[in-house]
Chains A and B, each alone.
Chain A
């Protein structure tokens, strides 16, 4: 079954949220409608309650590039999606196209996890294959990496993704809000929401590892 068909089934079975997106069916004659979850109650009003209407998935990339105040959203998992808009979609293929702009591969990653075929890479696997200017990131200590996760990841730092990876094969993450986060940035259960999944450390985290590794190195340098 295609990913779009499986997505359709998930919605039929009660799923209505992914990240900060509310997913609705059969609104004003449209098979699917998506919006920021805080605008969810406006969509059923006449004229979509004044929300700016976007027909089809084409505008999804632009809607997800900048936050409300014009800040560039450097990772799509950031919990600063803008409000004030609604998108109508004719079928589940268009819905999937739109979701893949807001949260790239979000449905595919979830389906792979459900099917037991999602490949997860540890932090060390990610760092050890970096080349060029990011090669130095691999020298970060385990303690430094654990501390960095708590400084950079999780809902307290605007990331809506559930961390699936460990430091390495045998070293799990220290317990923290970031390590415990389930990928659903609201109080909804997994019966109602598709969690956003983090299968490997993102480029932002790798860049932060590089800075932290340099700081560790500088701290150890012999004093003049």
Chain B
């Protein structure tokens, strides 16, 4: 990461962590490696402005709603439960908070879902109980991860009941291509990780704008 300094001619640099939440990497590793000691750090003549990670920005809501609409086209939100799912462990309270914040924002919006819930792989409420958590005939599950990987390709499909056991699929992305799944008396729509949404580029720019609004206005 220290090589990044030599990539840049500009005197002002905005650093936006492509992470789903705050935590060890955004609070310890990145500042250490980039030699950042505060919101703005001058490193050998360049000003580095350290922004919040993309996952905690309120505009992640737009990405989640877009993804939910795309994975279940034409399905009325009023007959649908939207579940945002994450890892959920005692080590990672920050990502749980980011998900709960999104649930609150979407519930308060005019998206019109019958219910908006959080559920987790390793803490309650468990994503494996998705059908018991939902009162509607349709359920949309959006993984709140920065990228696809073992959790979205393998672990969560098993917990949802889409796959019977964890194992490498011939093409891992196939698991997202067979919506809807008729399971447990409901229609389940399973999306790939929210971090794969192209509009994430706008969230990066939103974090840059928020940094300026916060720090330049002081």
A interface residues, Cβ below 8 angstroms from B: 2-4, 100, 104-105, 108-109, 111-112, 117-119, 121, 129, 131-132, 199-200
- Give which listed residue, B6, B24, B28, B32, contacts A105 with CB less than 8 A: B6
Binary A-proximity of B8-48 (CB < 8 A = 1, otherwise 0)? 11000000000000001000110010000000000010000
Contact: B9 with A3, CB < 8 Å?
yes
Partner of B2, one of A2, A117, A199: A199
Whether B7 is near chain A, meaning CB under 8 Å from some CB there, is: yes
A121 to B33, CA, bound (A): 12
Residues on B with C-beta less than 8 A from A112 are 6
Complexed CA–CA distance, A132 and B24 (Å): 9
**Minimal Cβ-Cβ distance residue in A for B25:** A132
A118 CB → nearest B CB, Å = 8
Q: Which B residues fall within an 8 A CB radius of A?
A: 2-9, 24, 28-29, 32, 44
The 8 closest A-B pairs by CB, nearest first: A108-B6, A105-B6, A105-B3, A105-B7, A109-B6, A2-B9, A3-B9, A112-B6
Q: Judging by beta carbons under 8 Å apart, are B29 and A104 in contact?
A: no
* Complex CA distance for A14 and B23, rounded to whole angstroms: 48
Contact B3–A131 (Cβ < 8 Å): no
CA distance A4 to B3 in the complex (A): 17
Sample of 20 more A-B contacts, CB < 8 Å, known A104-B7, A108-B7, A121-B2: A2-B9, A3-B9, A100-B7, A104-B4, A105-B3, A105-B7, A108-B6, A109-B6, A111-B6, A112-B6, A118-B6, A119-B44, A129-B32, A131-B28, A131-B29, A132-B24, A132-B29, A199-B2, A199-B3, A200-B2
Q: Which of A4, A108, A121, A200 has the most CB of B within 10 A?
A: A108
Tell me which residues across on chain A come within 8 A of B9, comparing CB atoms: 2-4
Residues on B with C-beta less than 8 A from A129 are 32
Q: Closest A-chain residue to B7, C-beta based?
A: A105
Beta-carbon contact of B3 and A109 below 8 Å: yes
